[in-house]
């Protein structure tokens, strides 16, 4: 686990320091959920978040050129749609009036890795925790 956290930190530091830029059109098309990595200092949260994101591998995220997106989870047949845009290496997705920001860690012709962080206070001792969720997608078309 420590080794994984170390490698993830190096990956994120490298991505954060990268000047690599991309065109928004690089995101257009369908992306199939591939993997989810949960990074946190509290091991008990890893299993909770893994369960929460367990359907990621059966999901498809489609970004259209007109800046709309659709999300479909194939197992439960859940779907949603909204708008998307990129600002300063962040993918911003808006639906139902809420906007969620995902750091684009990596974007290639056939792979997309995003990172988002959840912050909360741990009720038992008031300790503040962060949970980073790294989602990997593979190009579907």
State the DSSP H helix or E strand holding residue 29, giving kind and residue range, or none if neither: strand 29-40
Instruction: Report pLDDT for 105.
Output: 96
Those residues whose C-beta lies under 8 Å from the C-beta of residue 85, and which sit 6 or more positions away, are 24, 67, 92
pLDDT tens for 56-96 read 788 899 999 999 999 988 888 888 999 999 998 899 999 98
E-strand stretches of 74-124: 78-87, 90-95, 98-107, 111-121
Residue 40, token pair as written in the block: 């946190």
pLDDT tens for 126-135 read 778 889 999 9
For domain 2-139, give the fold.
Lipocalin (2.40.128)
pLDDT exceeds cutoff 80 at 139: yes
Instruction: Report pLDDT for 17.
Output: 43
Instruction: Report pLDDT for 20.
Output: 60
Instruction: Report pLDDT for 73.
Output: 85
Sequence-distant contacts of 23-26: CB under 8 A, at least 24 apart: 24/85, 24/86, 25/65, 26/107, 26/109
pLDDT exceeds cutoff 80 at 124: no
Those residues whose C-beta lies under 8 Å from the C-beta of residue 4, and which sit 6 or more positions away, are 37
Distance CA 72, CA 32 (A): 10
DSSP 41: S
Region label for 29, one of left (φ > 0), alpha (ψ between -120 and 50) or beta (otherwise): left
Task: Report residue 112's pLDDT band, with 50, 70 and 90 as the boundaries.
Answer: very high
Residue 21, token pair as written in the block: 């830029």
pLDDT tens for 9-62 read 434 433 444 446 677 889 999 999 999 999 988 888 888 888 878 877 888 999
Quote the radius of gyration of the chain (alpha carbons, Å). 16
Domain ranges across the chain:
2-139
């Amino acid at each position: 686990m420590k080794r994984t956290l170390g490698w993830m930190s190096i990956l994120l530091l490298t991505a954060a320091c990268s000047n690599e830029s991309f065109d928004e059109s690089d995101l257009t098309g369908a992306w199939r959920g591939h993997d989810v990595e949960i990074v946190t200092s509290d091991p008990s949260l890893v299993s909770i978040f893994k369960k929460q994101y367990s359907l990621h591998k059966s999901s498809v995220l489609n970004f259209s050129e007109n800046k709309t997106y659709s999300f479909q989870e194939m197992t439960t047949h859940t779907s949603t749609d909204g708008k998307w845009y990129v600002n300063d290496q962040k993918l911003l997705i808006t639906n139902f009036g809420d906007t969620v920001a995902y750091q684009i860690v990596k974007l290639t012709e056939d792979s997309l890795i995003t990172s988002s962080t959840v912050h909360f206070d741990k009720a038992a001792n008031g300790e503040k925790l962060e949970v980073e969720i790294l989602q990997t997608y593979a190009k579907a078309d």
